[in-house]
Chains A and B, each alone.
Chain A
Amino acid sequence: MSRLDAKRRHIVSFTLNGAPAEVEVEPRMLLTDALRYGLGFTGTHVGCEHGVCGACTISIDGAPARACLTLAVAIEGAEIRTVEGLGPAPGRLGVLQAAFRRHHALQCGFCTAGILMSLDAHLFRHPDPSREEITEVIGGHLCRCTGYAPIIAAALEAAAEMRGDTRGTGEAKTSRTDGHA
């Protein structure tokens, strides 16, 4: 990217959930604000703006990252995925999302998007995770409602389902629905 001017707005081009996207931002604008206010992708939430709570976790080039610690101008050319890109189609849930719903793995839902993104990235690379491993991944997020147990249960069940170990729910299984399919 060319040299940035603090006083000017710059156009940043990247891929958002598989589609080309552009947003015009000042160099200091946080990626969370660019996604939410610039592009209307309000599924990514802001909880602490200092990288601890994990609510704003998204995927940048396949790796989970805190959007609140990322400047929007830094994602030029990157592949960005947010919670809006997790489901197979509008109004339909992916395997992990459906497992969350079955297990009551969310209450207020504010931290959920970030946790889904971290788990999605982890399960893609580690399809057969242990409970400890899942607990560690979720340990990078703060949830104030659930006490975490149902989130761990949902993640383990979703992993098993995606491996085809247990019940498959037809449509979700074929689409793999975490978007990596």
Chain B
Amino acid sequence: MLSIEPMGHVGLSIERVEDAALLTGRGRYVDDLGTPPGTLHAAILRSPHAHADIVAIDKSAALALPGVIAVVTGADIQDITTGLVPAVRAKVDARVIGTDRVRYVGEPVAVVIARDRYLAEDGAELVEVEYRLRPAVVDPEASLAADAHVLHEGVGANLVSERSFRYGDPETAFQQAPHQLSVTVHYPRNTGSPIETYGLVATYEPTDGSYDVLANFQGPFSIHTVMARALKVPGNRLRIRTPPDSGGSFGVKQGVAPYAVLIAAASRLVGRPVKWVEDRLEHLAASVSATNRVTTLKAAFDDEGVVTALDWDQLEDCGAYLRAPEPATLYRMHGNLTGAYAIRNVAIRNRVVLTNKTPTGLVRGFGGPQVYFPLERLMHRIAVMLKRDPFEVIRKNLIPADAFPYRTATGALYDSGNYQEALAVAARDGGLDELKRRRDAARAEGRLYGIGYTAAVEPSVSNMGYITTVLTPEERAKAGPKNGAQATASITIDPVGSVTVQVASTPQGQGHRTVLAQVVADALGLEMSLVRVVTELDTAKDAWSIASGNYSSRFAAAVAGAAQLAAVKLRGRLARIAAAQLNVVADDLVFAEGRVTSRHNPDVSLPFARVAATSHWSPGLVPEDVEGGIRETVFWTPPELTAPDEADGINSSLCHGFIFDFCGVEIDPVTGKLGIDRYVTMHDCGRILHPGMVEGQVRGGFAQALGAAVYEELSYGQDGAFLSGTLADYLLPTATEVPELTVLHVESPSPFTPLGAKGVGEGNCMSTPVCLANAVADALGIEAIDLPLTPAKIAALAAAGDEPAPPPGHDKPKASTKPGDRTMRGEGKAEVAAPPEKVWAMLLDPDVLASVIPGAHGVKKLSDTHFKADVTLGVGPVKGRYKADVELTDLDAPRAATLSGTVTGGLGNGGGNGRITLEPIEGGGTRIGYTYEAHVGGKAAAVGGRLLDGASRVIIGGFFSALARKAGGGRGGPGFLKRIFAMLGIGR
């Protein structure tokens, strides 16, 4: 530690200063702060297609709506904005709004600005966008194919970055090793999903060409430069302000940046402040996703399971645009790619591809889950292969306790730790032996029980230069070195001697104000109540730098440390001011209990407030060589965070905590339900400043990791349709799913941080998903396993392909052979009294069609076999207006025809085709038979996926039953249909 201070508050679980306001409804989140008079409200119209050209946008109907002020499109802000720069120079024009093309579902296409949000939403429904569809690329491996559809022609391919690295001598190590093993992992997409969505108010000031944006942005403030550049203004013409409270972020609120640019530009066009608050569908579809990644990891190891070399092949999918700071997810863990293990030989190939999915960005764990899943699966599989205990294989490979600070093969400098001790304490206090007995007992009864383990190094306080590892040493030399992690804190003393602390850490609920009050109160010998902490940030007035913000678990290690340094510095000045008044030497003075007192003579003493106020009221009493006793601002960057070296070694993070997890799970072989019998998580996060908050970070991180492991996936169809647009589709764990958790700690203070603290917020997001997967693999005795571990997947794995037979009377659903294929198929029949010829005529009669198409407002006949109609359809509570286009082909009058059509509307789009057959039956009637295939995209697919199959069946069935009624029939079971209609709430 840089300094050891006597502490009165630090280390205690003091009640948080934030909580009284938050518990009484007095929090001040972005949407609680009010807006300037005349503020307008925005709704964003987004692409329902994964990949399409924008042919035309018709604003007229929207603009005709009273209350709608403007409809802003990409073309409108083309000249006043430019693209968001990524960390890699690729010819990807990452605009904040689609202009002539859209590349993911949810990409903004128009911003409707109106007097209130309701009217803006109305207006968005009236904007008509004509698209020309392009084929979508969804899978990262498919996007590499030579004939894959390219997202950005300027790049020429979907591969936007490729680098290979070599540390030590991996080739020889692989040659000489007696064993090799590789795992391949497809890590899925998930996100932090804070309960508060994005929100912002943007104002353009034309007199000095500046923007003011109040946004719940979380940093890193390196993105401020990206935003200013995208708005084509110097940094001092973009004032970003953050609200006092934020409803969680977990990295995700970094992604408000493109919207800050979009709404700021819109505000300039309309000349008024504009407010936008994201809704949940927008958030899930288009805010920020973690990267999905395909990794093949190969290890060379000996008979004991000691790994001598690793070979990483990582294929990173950053979605449709490479947005700053991406591809940082891929490089954040570069220094610690060997995890907790002493592996000296490493080969790496990193590739970054773009696909037609939401652009990726910061999500808690940032790169860690994607790395530790293959690494710890591999350790588990090595143990299985060698018939050894995974615990022993992990232990044998750990970095020796006497090796710290330890330089990894890829360049990280691990600050401190004793991994062996952490394992031993975890096994002892977490009851590992008893857990093994439980497993043995369960297995003896034939139950599916498994144990999983994970060891992980949790990096924190990112080196702002790590991302430049994506560049070659030559490119880096040309661009100039980037490194460091500037943290800042200011402490101000007011004229009555009370203390205000200001930092640029933009807390998202973690309790920074409490910890800073603890740290500064201790340093100045004050009660915590005399220290007030302000954390809302204003880039126009406050001290900040590119590393400011709330990410890479940097608060305790870097920001609290900077506050400590500032307090100590200020204290030194106050000591000299007091020394002059008390006639003692400054070193003799102690700051405690609100006083400044001589160590040697306790009677020589002044109240802190009096000393502190001197510079305000009596600057003449301040010794000449003391520069100011009113305010101290400290910028601190750790010297250990150097730029990547010529051999691509990079100390990607300042601190490296340690985690060791183990768990016991039991699987229900019929339902596939994953029951977590016990979960033990051991953390070494250095010195603990506030045990309650550390516990909160661990438990919260664990619950999110459980979600990522078992419940959550941002899923896409093969056509790029987004399928998880509600919290009923994207399932977050609730209280009933989160099991008991045993949290253990050992403390190895970091020698590199002022307070000895390390980050702790992200560890379980890295360790828990793979720990659970290892346990499931152990329970089922399987090798390959990918997330999420849904009951359906586990049940299928448990049954090894033997699906249970469907209940009697139900056909087995026709499963698609292609993953992600969402084609709905169905068939049916109806019998009518009219003869085939009459039914045939009806099918070609627009008036008849108008009366039988569910929800049709009017049918226009374009030709004898081509019709257009306006229809209103509802699925559950989601009701929308669509334009339908229907064509009859392959006519075989009066026996058969193919009916194909599309529907497009604000709530989504769909298409399909069906074959209709008319067959004469006894008594002159007709049996109408039909089969169809249909697919749905856009909002309807994202929010109604679970209902769509049933709903489409009902809607299509409704058409034929109405046709049957019209043709004098009724033997097709319309009563049954009617009941289903009522059940699904489908209006007619």
Contacts and interface: CB of A to CB of B under 8 A. Distances in A.
A139 B194 contact: no
Nearest to A140: B734
Contacts of B509: 106-110, 145
A135 interface: yes
A78 to B, nearest CB: 19
Interface stretch (A59-67, A111-119, A121-129, A163-171): A111-119
Given A41-B25, A45-B196, A49-B279, A102 B15 contact: yes
Given A36-B31, A55-B195, A107 B20 contact: no
Interface string B239-253: 000000111101000
A91 B703 CA distance: 32
B517 to A, nearest CB: 15
A149 interface: yes
A116 B31 CA distance: 20
Contacts of A148: 699, 703, 734-735, 738
Contacts of B32: 36, 42
Interface stretch (B571-579, B639-647, B690-698): B690-698
Interface in A88-118: 90-91, 93, 97, 100-102, 104, 106-113, 116
Given A107-B248, A107-B509, A108-B195, A144 B732 contact: yes
A109 B22 contact: yes
B20 A108 contact: no
Given A47-B195, A136-B736, A139-B736, A108 B25 contact: no
A28 B796 CA distance: 46
Interface string B1-41: 00000000000010110111011111101011000000000
B279 A93 contact: no
Contacts of B196: 45, 47, 108, 110
Nearest to A46: B31
B876 to A, nearest CB: 11
Interface in A143-168: 143-152
A57 interface: no
B39 to A, nearest CB: 11
B27 A43 contact: yes
A53 B727 contact: yes
B118 A101 contact: no
Which residue, of A29, A107, A146, has the highest number of chain B Cβ atoms within 10 A? A107
Interface string A18-55: 00000000101100010010000111111111101101
Which residue, of B696, B726, B728, B943, has the highest number of chain A Cβ atoms within 10 A? B696
A144 B194 contact: yes
B27 A144 contact: no
A104 B26 contact: no
A144 B704 contact: yes
A48 B727 contact: yes
B726 A108 contact: no
B735 A108 contact: no
Nearest to A135: B735
A83 interface: yes
Contacts of B510: 107
Contact of B248 (A44, A108, A116): A108
Contacts of A111: 195, 247
Majority-rule SS of A interface residues: loop
Contacts, number: 178
A151 B19 CA distance: 14
A90 B509 CA distance: 22
B15 A108 contact: no
A42 B738 CA distance: 30
Contacts of B31: 36, 42, 46
A142 B712 CA distance: 14
B678 to A, nearest CB: 14
A145 B18 CA distance: 15
A138 interface: yes
Contact of A147 (B15, B511, B702): B702
B700 A43 contact: no
A53 B15 CA distance: 26
B750 interface: no
Contact of A107 (B280, B696, B738, B943): B696
Interface in B75-113: none
Interface string B168-196: 00000000000000000000000011111
A142 B248 contact: no
B732 A142 contact: yes
Given A110-B248, A144-B248, A52 B23 contact: no
Which residue, of A46, A55, A109, has the highest number of chain B Cβ atoms within 10 A? A109
A27 B246 CA distance: 31
A26 B196 CA distance: 25
Nearest to B32: A42
Contacts of B29: 42, 45, 110
Interface residues of B, number: 56
A44 B19 contact: no
B356 interface: no
Contacts of A53: 195, 280, 727
Given A86-B24, A138-B734, A145-B696, A49 B280 contact: yes
Contacts of B727: 48, 50, 52-53, 142
Of the four ranges (under 10, 10 to 19, 20 to 34, 35 or more), the interface on chain A belongs to 35 or more
Contacts of A87: 23-24
A84 interface: yes
B280 A109 contact: no
Which residue, of A28, A45, A49, A152, has the highest number of chain B Cβ atoms within 10 A? A45
B693 A104 contact: yes
A45 B247 contact: yes
A112 B248 CA distance: 12
A109 B247 contact: yes
B699 A149 contact: yes
B749 to A, nearest CB: 23
Contacts of B20: 91, 93, 101
B739 to A, nearest CB: 10
A97 B23 contact: yes
Nearest to B279: A49
Interface string B635-664: 000000000000000000000000000000
Which residue, of A42, A44, A87, A149, has the highest number of chain B Cβ atoms within 10 A? A149
A147 B511 CA distance: 16
Contacts of A139: 734-736
A147 B700 contact: yes
A110 B736 contact: no
A48 B118 contact: no
Interface in B712-746: 726-728, 732, 734-736, 738, 740-741
Contacts of A26: 118
B508 interface: yes
A20 to B, nearest CB: 19
B279 A135 contact: no
Contacts of A140: 734
Contact of A108 (B280, B508, B692, B741): B508
Contacts of B703: 144, 146-148
Which residue, of B19, B279, B511, has the highest number of chain A Cβ atoms within 10 A? B19
B696 A42 contact: no
Contacts of A144: 192-195, 248, 250, 700, 703-704, 732
11 contacts: A42-B31, A43-B26, A49-B279, A82-B25, A110-B248, A112-B22, A112-B23, A142-B195, A142-B727, A147-B699, A148-B734
- Closest 10 interchain pairs by CB? A43-B25, A108-B509, A110-B247, A109-B22, A147-B699, A147-B703, A52-B727, A83-B25, A42-B32, A107-B509
Interface of B: 13, 15-16, 18-20, 22-27, 29, 31-32, 117-118, 192-197, 245-248, 250, 279-280, 508-511, 692-693, 695-696, 698-704, 726-728, 732, 734-736, 738, 740-741, 943
Given A141-B734, A144-B195, A149-B738, 17 more contacts: A52-B727, A55-B195, A84-B24, A93-B20, A97-B24, A104-B16, A106-B22, A106-B23, A107-B248, A108-B195, A108-B245, A109-B245, A110-B195, A111-B195, A139-B734, A144-B700, A144-B704
